[in-house]
Amino acid sequence: MLDKCPMTAPAARGDVVEIRAPKGARVFEVVWEHGEIARLPHALLRGFCPCAHCQGHAGPIRWTEGTEALPAEALELTDVSEVGNYAVLLTWGDGHNTGIYSFPYLARLSAIAAAPLATWRKLTFTK
Ligand SMILES: [Zn+2]
């Protein structure tokens, strides 16, 4: 669970009905079943990449230090593919493609999307 998050609980958002990742954009849009559209900056998604390479095998998911300093292509999405009916696999411009983002996880990230970087750096999510 997101620590002390006062915003919309993921359960209230329902399922994902559409994902929009326009080429060249720096924001990824998730359209939820109840009509809400979440806009997730690419830096947020990359910084909280849940893969074992970025996060290790133990402990909570936390901000990957250095994300802000990645080259521009590392924050470009080159592919978004659906995994089952529950998640998306993101492929970044630098070839990183091991992060699988479940829809509930996207909802949790949505809740902090508008927060500043300083806040992102302090938050953790249980796996
Ligand atoms: Zn990763």
CATH number of 28's domain: 3.30.2020.30
Given a contact cutoff of 8 angstroms between Cβ atoms, the answer to whether 113 and 38 are in contact is yes
Tell me, what's the pLDDT at 1? 36
Between the CA of 50 and the centroid of ligand 1 the distance, in Å, is: 6
Residue 5 lies in a domain: no
The span from the CA of 69 to the CA of 61, in Å, is: 19
Residue 114 lies in a domain: yes
Between the CA of 21 and the centroid of ligand 1 the distance, in Å, is: 18
Residue 4 lies in a domain: no
Between the CA of 5 and the centroid of ligand 1 the distance, in Å, is: 24
Between the CA of 32 and the centroid of ligand 1 the distance, in Å, is: 24
The span from the CA of 23 to the CA of 4, in Å, is: 34
Between the CA of 89 and the centroid of ligand 1 the distance, in Å, is: 10
Residue 126, token pair as written in the block: 């249980």
Given a contact cutoff of 8 angstroms between Cβ atoms, the answer to whether 71 and 57 are in contact is no
Between the CA of 112 and the centroid of ligand 1 the distance, in Å, is: 19
Residue 36 lies in a domain: yes
Which ranges in 1-127 belong to alpha helices (H)? 42-47, 52-55, 103-110, 117-120
How many CA atoms does the CB half-sphere of 1 hold within 13 Å? 8
Q: From first to last of its 127 residues, what are the pLDDT tens digits of the chain? A: 333 333 344 555 678 889 998 888 899 999 998 888 999 999 999 999 999 999 998 899 999 999 999 999 999 999 999 999 889 999 999 999 999 999 999 999 999 999 999 999 999 998 7
Q: Domain total for the chain?
A: 1
Residue 1 lies in a domain: no
* Domain extent for 86: 10-125
Residue 2 lies in a domain: no
Residue 3 lies in a domain: no
Element (H, E) at 16: strand 16-20
Between the CA of 73 and the centroid of ligand 1 the distance, in Å, is: 15
Tell me, what's the pLDDT at 12? 53
Q: Give the global pTM.
A: 0.86
